[in-house]
Each structure stands twice: as C-alpha cells, then as structure tokens.
Amino acid sequence: MKVRDMTELAVRNLRESMLRNSLTTLGVAVGVASLVAMLSLGVGLQELASKRLSRSGLFDAVFVTTQGNFREFGRSRPRTAASGDPRVLDGDARHDLAHLPGVTEVYPDVRFATEVRYQGTPYATMVAGVPASGLASGAFDGMQGKFFSSGNADEAILQVEFAREITPQTETLVGKNLELRYAERQALPAEPDPRASVGSTASKKTEKPPADTHGSSPAAEQTPPPQGDDASPLGGGFSIVPRQKMLRIVGVVDSEPAAGFGGIARGRVFIPLQVAEALRATQANDLRDALRGRTGKPSYLSLTVRVDGPSKVKDVEAAIKQMGFATFSLLDATKNIRLVFAVFDVLLGIFGSLALVVSSLGIINTLVMAILDRRREIGVLKALGAADGDIQKLFFVEAGAMGFLGGLLGVVFGWLIGRALTLALNIYLRKQELPGIDVTSVPWWLAAGAIAFAVVVSLIAGMYPASRAAKLNPVEALRYE
C-alpha cells in the first residue's frame, strides 16, 4: 500500500476511536511534557548561567599585563629579543592587540582614588572608568536611573553603598551634581639631566576626549592614547595638578560591573571610560614607570582584551603571549561549567523520559485493544489483498501518529509548564525585590528532539501490537464476531 493511502487509513482509524486514541495521545503528551519541562529547566539554567557569565565579561576576555608586572600571576616571562626588557604595554601595544583576529575591544582599567564632593561635603572614594560594553554585563540591570547617555558624557553612576553614605534615599541622588576632585598629571618639558625630573609620561593637555572605544567600528580604530600623551616628548617627568570636574549623577547601581579582572580596589563612583581616560588622573603605574626610569612611551597598568566568544580566547591569549605580554583568562572554568550542566541535563532527561516510557504502555494497550476491535477488519483487509507487512505498517503509522501528535502537544504543554515555572519564580523574585529571570528555555532542537523521541518510543511500543496484527489468521479474523 502506498504511504498516502496508509496514512489516510491510519488517520481514519484513529478518528474512529476518538476518545480512546485521544486519551492515549494525551498520555504521550504528558510524558513528553514532563521530559520537555525537565530539559527546558536544565537548558534554561545553563543558558542563564552562560549568559550571566558571558555578560560578566570574564569568559570572553583576556587580561593583559606587562611581563614582570606584579599582576603576572607567576607566569613565565619571555623577554623581547631586542632589549631583553619586557615589552611595554603602551599605545602601540594597544593598537597591535586591537588588530589581532577575533578581538572586538581593547580597553584599559582606569581607577584612581580621589575625593568627590556632594553639596559641599567631601567623600574619599575610588573612581572607575566603565566601557560602553559594561552595560551588557548585566551589572546595571535593575539600577536606579539609567546608564551613561554617551561614552563621553560628564555623568556618574554611584555604587549603592557609597550612595547610602551620602543619603539613605539613594533615588534622590539621580539628577544631582557631584564634584569630582582629582590629581591630573601634566607633562613637564624634557630636561637634559634625567636626574632632575621623574621619568614618566608627559602629558599634553587637551580637552578633546579620546575616540569612542566602544562603537561598532573596528577595534583598531578606537585606540586612544594612554593617559598622558604619547605625542609629547618623554623623559621630562610630570607634575601633579589638582583638578575638579562636575558630573551629573545618572544612576545608582547595586554592584560593580565586572569589566575585566583588574582594579586595585572596588570602584564606588563610575564614569564613562573615555571621560576617565581624558582626565589623565594619576594612577599607580605612573609612579611605577617613574621609578623604573622608563624613557619610552607612556604605558598602561593593564589592558582588557575582549574576544568574539569564549572559543577564541585560547588563540588570542596565545597570540598575546607571543607578543611578549603576560595574560590571564578563565577559559578552563567554562569547560567545567559545561560538564556540570551536561550531567545535570542527562539526569533531568532520564527522569523526564520515565513518564514517556510509562505513557508508551498506554500506546501498547490502545493498539492491542484496537486489534481486538478491528480483528474482523484486519481479516477483510487481508482477504482483499493486504499483505502482513501492510497490516504491520498500518499499526506502525497509527502508533507513530499518536506519538507525533502526543509529542507536539507535549512540547506545547512542556513549554507552558516552563512558562508557568518562570512566572511563579519571577513573582517570588519580585517580592524579594530581585530582577526577573527566565529559568526555562525550549530551543528548537529540544522541541524537535522531544517529538522525534516520542515518535520513536511510540513506534517501539507499536512493535508488539503491529506484529500481532500482522500475524492474525485472516480466516479466524473473518469469523470473529
């Protein structure tokens, strides 16, 4: 019999015993729903964890320091062949790093201890520059107020604990002004006697902020000079000039955005990275460079290299090491996380499948009953020319159809269960004043896999009834009343 005819007959048979077949299909649907709900929870939690980790910037970033730096984490320290000294992490290096394949963004870690004044009251604090990509880290989710309006806006976001030091009603700070006082480095003209000056970066004062480092343009074109000015003659040392800048508070955030692994202390006042770089505030590495008497270009304390996905971290890290810098990444940690979730998914899948196995017994029962009901019909079909294989296939198609429909319904039910779970969880989280999350996910492969699994289980369940129907003696079947 042709497939189309077979399918038509099977559908007709299924329609004939509508109630019984519907209940059996519903049984399959419940089994598939439990499987889908379980796995969607596993997948959802995995996606949630991956997304959070990915957004944290820890798994798609490489932290770069100069060889021999105190941040070197005990790594080997190859030296450049030419000088024997470690390569300096300067503007050129930043430019080179931005040109590596797979690199999307390179930015320095700008933090400095300083004083801010709110309505005349001074507060000692740590100011940190936040790249525009910091918004995607998720750390600003649910913040009071909003993120920076642009990369060079004179705006500030306060860490909530610091904001509470100013006023318990932290929300009232949004829109108010904050005066930032800081120590600006200013380059001194080069002097013939190096002993007369502190060898450090020279600074050419400019009001023009560095180029936007976080747009969609290639990373290589976004490289601003390090603090100070690489265009100025060096070796003249620097002086420190007290400066002040008025910033508008645009938000209050619970936690510090993880913009890399760096930082000598937790930031409490956040400003756009471009603004932070343009301030040329004195940082720890200025003194280090001065003490080392480095006569080269001004350098960065560290750079964070953001990579186009965790899979490329390894290659980029190797390339950076090849350039003569020390690196650090959390690549290995992601492997362990994936392993844990894979085991979790398998266990959830096993528990979810149990219900489907139980529902397959329903299919066997329904089809065995159908053989009894349709005994005479099977005899007629055989008398009219149906081969044993035709009868077998007919029952298989019926079992498969119940499995397919049950699988389809089950995916919908499973998805609904997942939605209900997420809804209930989010109601609870909202009561706890926590941001909402999506803990379940039904990706296309899970939906398709669940339907296919339901069909396969149904076909296996249909094997015995189909075989029994095929072996039915037509003479006896025709006599059956």
Partner 1 sequence: MAAQQEIAIHADQVSRHYTMGTTQVRAVDQVTLSANAGEFLAILGASGSGKSTLLNLIAGLDRPTAGAIFAQGKNLATMNSQELARHRSSTVGMVFQSFQLLPRMTLEENVELPLRLAEVERNERNQRVKEALERVHLSARLTHRPTEMSGGEQQRAALARALVNRPSILLADEPTGNLDSVTGEEIMNLLQEINQTLGMTILIVTHERPMAERFAHRLALMGDGKLMSDGHRR
Q: Is residue 388 within the footprint of partner 1 (CB under 8 A)?
A: yes
Name which of 124 and 372 has its Cβ closer to partner 1. Answer: 372
Q: Could you say whether residue 208 binds partner 1 (CB under 8 A)? A: no
Select from 182-190, 272-280, 415-423, 467-475 the region that touches partner 1 (CB under 8 A): 467-475
Q: Which is nearer to partner 1, 38 or 477 (CB)?
A: 477
Q: How far is the CB of 464 from partner 1 (least distance, A)?
A: 19
DSSP state letters, 112-155: EEEEEEETTEEEEEEEEEE-GGGGGGSTTTT-EE---SSTT--E
Question: In what helix (H) or strand (E) does residue 190 lie, and over which residues does it extend?
Answer: none
Cβ closest to partner 1, residue 231 vs residue 387: 387
Residues 6+ apart with CB under 8 A from 192: none
Residue 384 found at the interface with partner 1 (CB under 8 A): yes
153 counts as binding partner 1 under rule CB under 8 A: no
Two structure tokens written together for 89: 């992490």
User: Residues 6-25: x/- map of binding to partner 1 (CB under 8 A)?
Assistant: ---x--x---x---------
- The nearest distance, CB 370 to partner 1, in angstroms, is 13
The secondary element (H helix, E strand) that includes residue 179 is strand 177-187
Compute CA distances 324 → 65, 72, 79, 303, 416, whole Å: 10, 12, 6, 14, 54
Contacts of 13 (CB under 8 A, 6+ apart): 370, 374, 394, 398
Coil, strand or helix at 416:
helix
- Asked whether the beta carbons of 215 and 133 are under 8 A apart, the reply is no
**Is 474 near partner 1 (CB under 8 A)?**
yes
Which range of residues in 55-63, 74-82, 118-126, 378-386 is near partner 1 by CB under 8 A?
378-386
Contact string (CB under 8 A) for partner 1, positions 420-459, x = contact: ----------------------------------------
State the CB neighbour count (10 A cutoff) for residue 14. 21
- Phi and psi at 305, nearest 5°, equal -105, 115
Restricting to residues 318-337, name those near partner 1 by CB under 8 A: none
Would you call 205 helix, strand, or coil by DSSP? coil
Quick one: which segment of 22-30, 267-275, 406-414, 468-476 binds partner 1 (CB under 8 A)?
A: 468-476
Q: How many CA atoms lie within 13 A of 64 on its CB side?
A: 35
Of positions 175, 215, 233, 389, contacts partner 1 by CB under 8 A: 389
The residue to which tokens 């019909």 are assigned: 377
Choice from 5, 171, 191, 221 touching partner 1 (CB under 8 A): 5
Contacts of residue 149, Cβ cutoff 8 Å, sequence gap at least 6: 155, 250
Size of the site for partner 1 (CB under 8 A): 24
Helix (H, G, I), strand (E, B) or coil at 195: helix
Considering only the stretches 169-177, 222-230, 348-356, 377-385, report the one whose residues sit in contact with partner 1 under the rule CB under 8 A: 377-385
Among 132, 276, 381, 451, the residue binding partner 1 under the rule CB under 8 A is 381
Please report whether residue 393 would count as binding partner 1 according to CB under 8 A.
no
Residue 480 binding partner 1, by CB under 8 A? no
d(CA 170, CA 168): 6
CB nearer to partner 1: pick between 331 and 380: 380
- Which of 288, 377, 412, 426 is the binder for partner 1 (CB under 8 A)? 377
**Which residue, 165 or 377, is less far from partner 1 as judged by CB?**
377
Positions touching partner 1 (CB under 8 A) are 1-2, 5, 9, 12, 16, 376-377, 379-390, 473-475, 478
